[in-house]
Amino acid sequence: MIKGSIVALVTPMIADTLKVDWDALERLVEWHIEQGTHALVAVGTTGESATLNVDEHSQVIKTTVNMSKGRIPIIAGTGANCTKEAIELTQAAKNAGANACLLVTPYYNKPTQEGLYLHYKTIAEAVEIDQILYNVPGRTACDMLPDTALRLSLIPNIVGIKEATGDLERAKKLINESPEDFAIYSGDDHTARELILLGGHGDISVTANVAPRLMSQMCSAALNGNAQQAFDIDQKLLPIHDAMFIESNPIPVKWAVNQLGIISGAIRLPLTQLSTSNQVKVKQALSDLSLI
């Protein structure tokens, strides 16, 4: 089971062309390994999966796996609102050597709970790789209810869920009623510490893009049951949690990683650069934590 601080990695792009910046991607991977990050998600929502074509999507996964050289688990974002496309992306991730896949609920379609169950069951049966469900109704307009997730948890290669509602009562139900080897990850940085202390297994994090060492330390403390240490670190991180969602993700986090000097701030339409007024706020949050 993958545990701890799992970075929902940004996809760096070249400013002039908006092509994927492979050199910057390698710098990111190396930096996160050095900072103590426990795992990486390549091409999730934060990785601009919606604006990468299928070839780019598959190549970013393959390249991230190759760059990691087995030193850190790589989870590939392979969800889609078309079951066939999700199978193709998941198979490509398996072929690339990813450790697991993260599959967001089908967006826009608004499937029923039975449709969600059959969607994930079909992908799991088609591709023999560990698969993690991803529920983020605020972005997808599709809410996978706990009972549906619990049904899916009985499928052998569906091994966890990223629950991004921030609803701790829902998380508690999943933790208490799912199989022991089924991982419950937070997808909400603001409530991740509490979810882990309830018995969750980690945080698939946006904040960890800019504060990886602190996020790693916070998750480790919570996993070890050291509630006070986890609280103290989380209090330091709170302004960063706020800043990373001051505009739609990944607009703020991509600008912030650029401020660290690792990547350009290039981002593809329909996303735009962080507004000038919010740049001041994000920069202040980074500065207050001595990140820049």
Q: Distance between CA 93 and CA 76 in Å, rounded?
A: 6
Secondary structure class of 146 (helix, strand, coil): helix
Q: Which candidate, 39, 60, 37, places its Cα nearest to that of 48?
A: 60
Q: Please name the residues in contact with 126: beta carbons below 8 A apart, sequence gap of 6 or more.
A: 87, 90, 91
DSSP string over 160-212: EEEE-S--HHHHHHHHHHS-TT-EEEE--GGGHHHHHHTT--EEEESGGGT-H
Q: Which residues are catalytic?
A: 134, 162
Stretch (H or E) spanning 39? strand 39-42
Contact 157, 124 (CB under 8 A): yes
Angle between helix 54-68 and 83-96 (nearest 10): 30
Q: Which candidate, 32, 27, 79, places its Cα nearest to that of 52?
A: 79
CA dihedral 43, 46, 47, 52 (to 10 degrees): 90
Stretch (H or E) spanning 6? strand 4-8
